[in-house]
Structure 1
Amino acid sequence: MTAHQMTTANHLGLPERRIGPLTVGLQGLGCLGLSEFYGPVTEHDAVTVIRRALDLGVTLLDTADVYGHGDNERLVGRAVAGYRDRAVIATKFGVVRPGPGVGTGIRADPAYVRESCDASLRRLGVDHIDLFQLTRADRTIPIEETAGALADLIEAGKIRAYGLCEVSPETLRRAHAVAPVAALQSEWSLWSRDVERGALAVCRELGITVIAYAPLGRGFLTGTVRSVEQLGTEDFRRIGLPRFEPENLAGNLPLADRLIVLARRLGFTSAQLSLAWLHHQGPDVIPIPGTGRLGHLTENAVAARLLLGPAELEAIAAAVPADQVHGDRWNPASTAYLNG
């Protein structure tokens, strides 16, 4: 088997994808880790990473109103000042997060949709949001009401398109019937394949782009996380993700090791192979790996230009079989909000 690498990613050459009316590089940048959950990153380094991403053609910047309790949106806003014409800003709303933890609930009534949009616009310091996404479905509000409010924001020029995250196929259809859904954001990687069981087919039927978050398994697929002790005491993976619990992590390490061996044989890193596998799942898939390091950013962007054959793709998937992954991808409290 041989993998073929096209020219190094750059601002002029990174292939592009569509998200509704938006044109973006076929790989984005998840900005969550620049503010919290995965260890400290200085503001200088974070801004440098975001601007370098734009230079590479990594134009989709994904943030949310609750990341860093609003600080992440402010950071993105500062980073894109003077670069707004290159950046496609995607932010999210819906999580109620008054204090520590990942949140206490979901709210998506029309009044909150409008309030959240205006607050995000202020923090970002922009006159419009390119992609405004509902983080999880609000089970107390018909999705039609939320979609209607989002359609009103598009009409008002405050957002260009809207998306939903981690929702069921039925919810996608109901929202799309009110106003076209531009994107479904879902966790998708070699070790998180849930979206392939239902939602993906509906997205392709309706022309909805899939934004794949945590495409590197929250760092696991890079092969660098070998024990829980490596993670800081406040690291999100150590606190709330079952797959990183000691027993589950030990059971998952052989998957990472097989991927590393395959990647070395092909001449790439396991991170690049993981991202390239996702890129080959279709022209409607956009991974958004996060990083606070320039070296990892460049490494990830190169993966967007790898050409893999059927045998190579089959070998990659076989290295990390979905039915051999130990542990759920979210803890019970967070799992309750999935597939809404």
Structure 2
Amino acid sequence: MKKNRLGSSDLYVSEIGLGCMSLGTEEKEAERLVHEALERGINFLDTADLYDAGRNEEIVGKAVKGRRSDVILATKVGNRRIPGKEGLSWDPSKSYIKTAVKDSLRRLQTDYIDLYQLHGGTLDDPIDETIEAFEELKQEGYIRFYGISSIRPNVIREYVNRSQIVSVMSQYSILDRRAEEEVLPLLAEKGISVIARGPVASGVLADTGASKVEKGYLDYAADELIDIRAKLAPLAHHERSMSQTAIRYSLSHQAVAAAIPGASSLNQLIHNVKAAESPALSTEELEFIRGISRANVYTAHR
């Protein structure tokens, strides 16, 4: 599978990665999916400390044991569970990040993390302190590189200007093109890579996704999604299905180094991997897709 350099780092990630959030907690099945992903050329695994309250990291760590050098392992930090308090608390402080990384390393059964990502962020955060934490973790050898996972253009700009991030994970798909106007051009100019999550738009653009349209998606109503699926259908053929077309769209921008669709079954995983073998979208196809979808922009989440 094609591998792309992640920003200015020396990490080369498979253009199709595995979003591990959807692996589930059935250990044997989840490990089987990770092993199959590695066998099929995926080397980029993305998890987070909050997925299944840390269980996801444990499963991923167990699955890659003995194959650690074959894997680019990414995880995230910032969402904290405080005993006695319901839900998650946001904590981008230096002290928390430097404590949380030790817990992630233990669960992942490794002594280093390839890509450590801030799992959110606002302009009210102590951004310089957060950056300092990541820089110190690099110097101490706990992490190799760092990035952020954010859809907030104003937050992304701050980290672009003030830090050495190599990547930004952002939602990006045919149905969520908000990053195209503000975020992608900036990151391309600065040599920072995008990791595109949600390329199949929560299953709306999957081949079997007709039943997913009822609730709508972002600012799209159900009838609009039905119409878009019908118009996308001619682009799908024996070499490239609808979901593979959607993944190829997310990969079409020069700033995007990897797309990370999730997979909860072997069939889904194999289908995602085959998107790497399917034809890239032509200029005409890209123009057609942009013509039938919306160039939506960020209003909230600034």
Pairwise same-fold verdict (TM > 0.5): yes
Q: Partners in 2 of 1:142 and 1:206 — Cα distance?
A: 23
Q: Partners in 2 of 1:103 and 1:185 — Cα distance?
A: 23
Answer yes or no: is 1:17 the counterpart of 2:4: yes
Contact 1:25 1:59 in 2 (8 A): yes
Tell me the equivalent position of 2:15.
26
Q: Partners in 2 of 1:215 and 1:278 — Cα distance?
A: 6
Q: Partners in 1 of 2:218 and 2:181 — Cα distance?
A: 24
Q: Partners in 2 of 1:298 and 1:44 — Cα distance?
A: 18
**Aligned partner (choices 141, 145, 148) of residue 132 of structure 2:** 148
Cα deviation, 1:177-226, whole Å, max 9, x if unaligned, reads 44311110100000011111211122112211000111110111014233
- For the aligned residue pairs, the C-alpha RMSD in angstroms reads 2.8
Answer yes or no: is 1:315 the counterpart of 2:288: yes
Q: Partners in 2 of 1:177 and 1:251 — Cα distance?
A: 38
**Please, which runs of 5 or more residues in structure 2 have no aligned partner?**
none
Q: Partners in 2 of 1:176 and 1:148 — Cα distance?
A: 14
Shift in CA distance, 131/103, structure 1 to aligned 2, threshold 3 Å: farther
Q: Partners in 1 of 2:207 and 2:249 — Cα distance?
A: 16
Tell me the equivalent position of 2:274.
302
Tell me the equivalent position of 2:27.
43
**Aligned partner (choices 221, 234, 253) of residue 226 of structure 2:** 253
Contact 2:194 2:255 in 1 (8 A): no
Say which SS state the counterpart of residue 247 (structure 2) adopts.
helix
Tell me the equivalent position of 1:243.
217
Q: Partners in 2 of 1:285 and 1:208 — Cα distance?
A: 9
Answer yes or no: is 1:95 the counterpart of 2:79: yes
Normalised by the length of structure 1, the TM-score is 0.79
Contact 1:61 1:90 in 2 (8 A): yes
Answer yes or no: is 1:123 the counterpart of 2:107: yes
Answer yes or no: is 1:220 the counterpart of 2:204: yes
Q: Partners in 2 of 1:151 and 1:178 — Cα distance?
A: 12
Shift in CA distance, 253/223, structure 1 to aligned 2, threshold 3 Å: farther
Cα deviation, 1:18-60, whole Å, max 9, x if unaligned, reads 112211111111010113xxxxx63222111111111122111
Tell me the equivalent position of 1:206.
190
Q: Partners in 1 of 2:123 and 2:98 — Cα distance?
A: 18
Q: Partners in 1 of 2:42 and 2:251 — Cα distance?
A: 14
**Aligned partner (choices 147, 164, 183) of residue 148 of structure 2:** 164
- In terms of mean alpha carbon deviation, does 159-168 or 25-34 score higher? 159-168
Tell me the equivalent position of 1:73.
57
**Please, which runs of 5 or more residues in structure 1 have no aligned partner?**
1-13, 36-40, 229-236, 330-334
Answer yes or no: is 1:276 the counterpart of 2:245: no
Percent identity among equivalent residues?
32
Say which SS state the counterpart of residue 209 (structure 2) adopts.
coil
Q: Partners in 1 of 2:108 and 2:239 — Cα distance?
A: 40
Contact 2:232 2:289 in 1 (8 A): yes
Contact 1:262 1:316 in 2 (8 A): no
Q: Partners in 2 of 1:164 and 1:283 — Cα distance?
A: 15
Partner AA of 2:283 in structure 1: P
**Aligned partner (choices 169, 173, 193) of residue 177 of structure 2:** 193
